[in-house]
Amino acid sequence: MSPRTLKIALAASVALNLFAVAAGATLLVGRADVERRLDAQHRAPRDRPFMAVVEGLDPEVRDRVRDTLRASARTAHPDFEETRLKRRQATALARSADFDPARATALLEQSRAAEMRGRARLEADAVAVLATLEPDDRAALSEILTRRGRTVVRDKGDRKARPAGAPN
């Protein structure tokens, strides 16, 4: 073979190998994307935003449900504020030099009790709203009962964390 033919064959081989590597990378990335989409479809409904759940309802029913649940969230808001306050106090106590385990435990118990009061209020109001709906609307909205609050609440200054079940 002549040197020119070898150069052409080498260039073709390099191009083919680059094409194969690019195809493999595309396949891997595409597969990961498909798996992520499938996981998102099978994920628990509580991961959907509240408004996405309510949007499927008749506009008249949607407005009534939204207003009722917002009023419920406003009523439960002090309980969740107390939850965050007690947890911040327990965290501050744990960081301080004069740590008192009994006081920290009491603050955490008060935090849990406040959270449970708030959740109970939200859930009771949600059940009351569900009782007023037609079976199809009730089935569509029933996933609001599967919602869970935030598992991590961080104090970030002006940002206020909201429980996941609270409407926007």
In the structure encoding, which two tokens stand for residue 16, read together? Answer: 């083919």
Look up the domain containing 37 and give its range: 3-43
Token code pair at residue 61: 């029913």
Positive or negative, the Cα torsion across 157, 103, 120, 147? positive
Q: Is residue 13 part of a domain?
A: yes
pLDDT, tens digit, for every residue of 152-161? 444 444 444 4
Q: Are residues 56 and 29 in the same domain?
A: no
The verdict on 11 and 54 lying in the same domain is: no
| Together in a domain, 97 and 132 | yes
Mean pLDDT of 2-15: 93
Same-domain pairing of 82 and 130: yes
Whether 59 and 131 share a structural domain: yes
Same domain, 38 and 68: no
CA distance 91 to 78: 20
Taking the complete model, does pTM exceed 0.85, yes or no?
no
Tell whether the model's pLDDT for residue 69 goes beyond 90.
no
Query: Any residues with CB less than 8 A from the CB of 104 and at least 6 apart, and which?
Result: 90, 93, 94
Same domain, 20 and 75: no
Same domain, yes or no, for 60 and 107? yes
Instruction: Assess whether 82 and 132 both reside in one domain.
Output: yes
Whether the pLDDT of residue 20 is over 90: the answer is yes
Which pLDDT value is given to residue 43?
Answer: 58
* Domains of the chain: total: 2
Give the pLDDT confidence score for residue 49 in this predicted structure: 67
Q: Which of 162, 134, 168 is nearest to 149 (CA)?
A: 162
In angstroms, rounded to a whole number, what is the distance separating the alpha carbons of residues 83 and 85?
6
